[in-house]
Amino acid sequence: MIYLDHHATTPPSPAVIEAMGALMVTTWANASSQHAFGQAARQALSGARATVARVLGCKPAEVVFTSGATEANHLAVRGLLGAAPAGRSRVVFSAVEHSGHLKLAQALAEAGVPVDVLPVTAEGGLDLAAAARLIGPDVAVVSLMAANNETGVLMPVAEVAALARAAGARLHVDATQWIGKQPFDFGAWGADAVSFSGHKFNGPKGAGALLLRQGATLRPTVPGSQERGRRGGTENLPAIVGMATALAALGDLGSEASRLAALRDRLEAALLTGLPDVHVWGRGLPRLPGVSFLRVGMWSADVLLNRLERLGFAASSGAACSSSGSEPSHVLTAMGVPPEEALGAVRLSLGRTTTDADIEALVAALPALRSLLPSAEPATA
């Protein structure tokens, strides 16, 4: 079976597995304990924090470890909102944020917080004119993803940072799909807070972080003494060390991005000629190198994924957390794609373990895929 769902999660690298296994044997203590066991754990924790800070261009004190990006996203938005000065109560999200993050937007709105949603264009890029209109002096927090997990489309983070700065609002960036795939330096965007997750770049699940600019205060969502009072709970040290190991191993992102873009382009060219009426969303915009989000005619995602799996390929219909298949992707809906087309959406996402041979195998399987598709092509088939 060939894995083509790297945007959902990635396999932990051998170095990560080794580092985590060794740590669980030798350094299992609570990093807050005062005895020698605790000191060793504390040392490992600060080593991991130093690595994250070095690779991502921030200060160690600006790293707040969390259980992943969902928690880091919540901490950023609720935390920055909770610390906002009087008169700043509004929160602005883009319409294509991760589905879990939009659930937070919904919860805030239900609790009476004024929430605005930034629309996107038909290709999936941010509507900057709307952003300029909506980011005003009563905004506490703007929350924008750096790159979309479904289309891969890159968002104009620096432009939105300038709008937020001019309005005196805080900017949170969900860089979960960006970090590990694109060069990153914490200072470059001018964001106050940036979240990410270890399992998107061959690290473990259960570890992520919020980078919080020095000087930006937040009210913790889970109070406690850990992480300088910004996030309570015993740190998941093996996963944190695993995540730091994965970050340190990223190496030259430029050459990996070119390799993935070449493989993705080869695959898209074959799909566009080998299957009928293929449409790739976001193709005309700058996007992440290893992803292709597409439909084939009006065949449903369920049918396409089932036939792909029979042929030995694992892909998805979009975000793993919302890929049950019955609801059209909220990203495509925001782009104005009709439900009958959106229900055909299939995401092929490549990663570090994807080889030329994997892509050639899929290209070679396209005639078989075509012959396995039913002749009628209702989106609900």
Residues classed as catalytic: 321
Q: How far apart are CA 208 and CA 243, in angstroms?
A: 8
The DSSP secondary structure of 196-264, one letter per residue, reads EEGGGTTS-TT-EEEEE-TT-----SS--STGGGTS-S---HHHHHHHHHHHHT---HHHHHHHHHHHH
Instruction: Report if residue 149 touches ligand PMP, rule: CB under 6 A.
Output: yes
Tell me which stretch binds ligand PMP (CB under 6 A): 66-74, 151-159, 248-256, 358-366. 66-74
Contact between 291 and ligand PMP (CB under 6 A)? no
For residue 177, state whether it binds ligand PMP (rule: CB under 6 A).
yes
Backbone dihedral angles phi then psi of residue 267, each to the nearest 5 degrees: -65, -45
- Helix (H) / strand (E) element for 65: namely strand 63-66
Q: Which of 300, 314, 308 is nearest to 350 (CA)?
A: 314
Residues 7-46 that bind ligand PMP (CB under 6 A): none
237 vs 288 by CB, closer to ligand PMP? 288
Distance CA 102, CA 94 (A): 9
Minimum distance between the CB of residue 360 and ligand PMP, rounded to whole angstroms? 28
352 neighbors 202 (Cβ within 8 angstroms): yes
Instruction: Give, for 349, the enclosing helix (H) or strand (E).
Output: strand 346-349
- Specify the stretch interacting with ligand PMP by CB under 6 A; choose among 169-177, 270-278, 281-289, 342-350: 169-177
Q: 327 or 340: whose CB is closer to ligand PMP? A: 327
Specify the residue, 8 or 305, whose C-beta has the smaller distance to ligand PMP: 8
The binding track of 99-138 with respect to ligand PMP, each residue x by CB under 6 A or -, is: -x--------------------------------------
Task: Determine the interface stretch with ligand PMP among 62-70, 77-85, 335-343, 366-374 (rule: CB under 6 A).
Answer: 62-70
**Residue with smaller CB distance to ligand PMP, 104 or 271:** 104
What's the angle, vertex CA 213, arms to CA 27 and CA 107, rounded to 5?
A: 90
Nearer to ligand PMP, 70 or 226 (CB): 70
Sheet holding 90-94, edge to edge: 63-66, 208-212, 193-197, 170-174, 139-145, 90-94, 115-118
Task: Provide the terminal-to-terminal Cα distance of the chain, rounded to the nearest Å.
Answer: 24
Single out the residue of 176, 236, 317, 329 in contact with ligand PMP (rule: CB under 6 A): 176
Q: Is 143 in the site for ligand PMP (CB under 6 A)?
A: no
Tell me how far apart the 2 most distant CA atoms of the chain are, in Å: 69
Task: Write out the DSSP string of 93-145.
Answer: EETTS-HHHHHHHHHHHHTT--EEEE-B-TTS-B-HHHHHHH--TTEEEEEEE
Residues in the chain: 381
Using the contact rule CB under 6 A, the part of the chain among 68-76, 210-218, 219-227, 356-364 near ligand PMP is: 68-76
Q: How far is the CB of 46 from ligand PMP (least distance, A)?
A: 23
Shortest Å distance, C-beta 35 to ligand PMP: 32
Q: Using CA atoms, how far apart are residues 224 and 81, in angstroms rounded to an integer?
A: 19
**Residues with Cβ < 8 Å from 21, sequence gap 6 or more?**
none
Q: According to the binding rule CB under 6 A, does residue 315 interact with ligand PMP? A: no
- Binding status of residue 349 toward ligand PMP by CB under 6 A: no
Q: Choose, by CB under 6 A, the member of 6, 16, 68, 201 that binds ligand PMP.
A: 68
70 binds ligand PMP (CB under 6 A): yes
> Per-residue contact track with ligand PMP, 83 to 102, x per CB under 6 A?
---------------x-x--
Question: What residue number has its CB nearest to ligand PMP?
Answer: 68
Smallest gap from residue 208 Cβ to ligand PMP (A): 5
| Residue 300 binding ligand PMP, by CB under 6 A | no
Q: What angle do CA 113, 118, 122 make, to 5 degrees?
A: 150
Residues in contact with ligand PMP by the rule CB under 6 A: 68-70, 98, 100, 145, 149, 174, 176-177, 197, 208, 319
